[in-house]
Amino acid sequence: MDNTVLFVDDEASILNALSRLFMETDLRILRAENGEEALAIVRGEPVAVVVSDNLMPGMRGVELLSKVRNISPDTVKVLLTGYADLPTAIEAINRGEVFRFHVKPWADDEVVRTVEEGVRRYQLVRSLRLGDEGALRSIAQTIELKDPYTRGHCDRVAAYALKIASGLRLPEEMLRSIKHGSWLHDCGKIGVPEAILNFPGRLSERDFEVVKKHPGWGAEVARQAHLPEEVVNIILYHHERIDGKGYPTGAKGKEIPLEARIVAVADVFDAMSTDRPYAKGYDREHAFRVMGVLRGPALDPELVDIFLVALAAP
């Protein structure tokens, strides 16, 4: 079972309230009244998400979630806490023991969103770790379904990126990582609400900040799944710019790994050539001209030249 959620609280009323939030979903809900009972469940079966109160008799929530991490590293951990205990929650996040925290009294829709995102994250990590090449491509195509305007995007980006990589005569192992990284470069969009991805216009600054987190989210999942470093680099750095004005790290020039610079060229070209909610795609001639403008400030000049020559070849 990869959709199991475990709620842990010493108050039955809290467990009832949390469980009711998910009555109409396909999630499997389990309950525990203390830390030891919760650990027994996690040891006995796969659990996608654990949501625990912090101030409980016996074992505090932070201690419980730390032990869950050791037993089941992929399980997503969420902490419920009071205002007075916020420093504890923040410290737990900084130590990597907690994915998110919610302050009591919580907002129902925020808890639901966190749990659903946690389940998707757990499923993605497990699939990436266990998947063969066909499974990786299938995962990428599933993520694309969040945004109907990007259907086929991962395959096209992979094809374009391999044209550049072939021009550089890169080794076979690197070509394989570039293909897989191209398929998965947007996997972090699993954490971006579809309302933002499909918004038919210019995003607000707040919504764009959410979008800008997807490379970091995706890279974190890829690391957790033990994917090759080159694949992680592509996911993390594919929105960086040569002039350092990209995101999420602000890396510039050769600070951006070669594999990510390659996929960035392919990604930008396909994005501008495809219809989106906010703009119609450019024809090839116009796209070539825009690539020339982006050559240097945004995209690696040498890689743009190789790409455009390869596209122009009969």
Residue 200 is predicted with a pLDDT of 72
Q: Which of 243, 275, 241 lies closest to 261 in space, CA to CA?
A: 241
- Of the chain, the percentage scoring pLDDT greater than 90 comes to 63
d(CA 163, CA 311): 8
Residue 29 is predicted with a pLDDT of 97
Residue 313 is predicted with a pLDDT of 75
Interval 121-136 mean pLDDT: 85
Residue 130 is predicted with a pLDDT of 77
Residue 275 is predicted with a pLDDT of 67
pLDDT at residue 98 tops 70 = yes
Residue 192 is predicted with a pLDDT of 81
pLDDT at residue 93 tops 90 = no
- Residue 192 contacts by C-beta under 8 Å, 6 or more apart in sequence? 146, 210, 211, 213, 214
88-91, long-range: CB < 8 A, 24+ apart: 88/54, 88/62, 89/54, 89/62, 91/62
Residue 211 is predicted with a pLDDT of 87
- Split at pLDDT 50, 70, 90, the class of 279 is low
Q: Which fold would CATH assign to domain 132-312?
A: Hypothetical protein af1432 (1.10.3210)
- Split at pLDDT 50, 70, 90, the class of 149 is low
pLDDT at residue 68 tops 90 = yes
Name the least confident of 47-56, 221-230, 246-255, 277-286: 277-286
Contact by Cβ (8 Å): 262, 164: yes
CATH 3.40.50.2300 spans which residues of the chain?
4-124
d(CA 13, CA 104): 13
Residue 147 is predicted with a pLDDT of 65
CATH 1.10.3210.10 spans which residues of the chain?
132-312
pLDDT at residue 243 tops 90 = yes
User: When comparing pLDDT for 275 and 54, which is higher?
Assistant: 54
pLDDT, tens digit (0-9, with 9 covering 90-100), for 2-46: 899 999 999 999 999 999 999 999 999 999 999 999 999 999 999
Residue 248 is predicted with a pLDDT of 96
Interval 75-103 mean pLDDT: 80
Structure tokens, 218: 């995706």
First to last CA, the chain: 50
Residue 194 is predicted with a pLDDT of 77
Structure tokens, 74: 């992929």
Name the least confident of 50-64, 90-104, 170-184, 213-227: 90-104
**Class of the 4-124 domain?**
alpha beta
- Residue 139 contacts by C-beta under 8 Å, 6 or more apart in sequence? 124, 127, 128, 131, 183, 184, 187
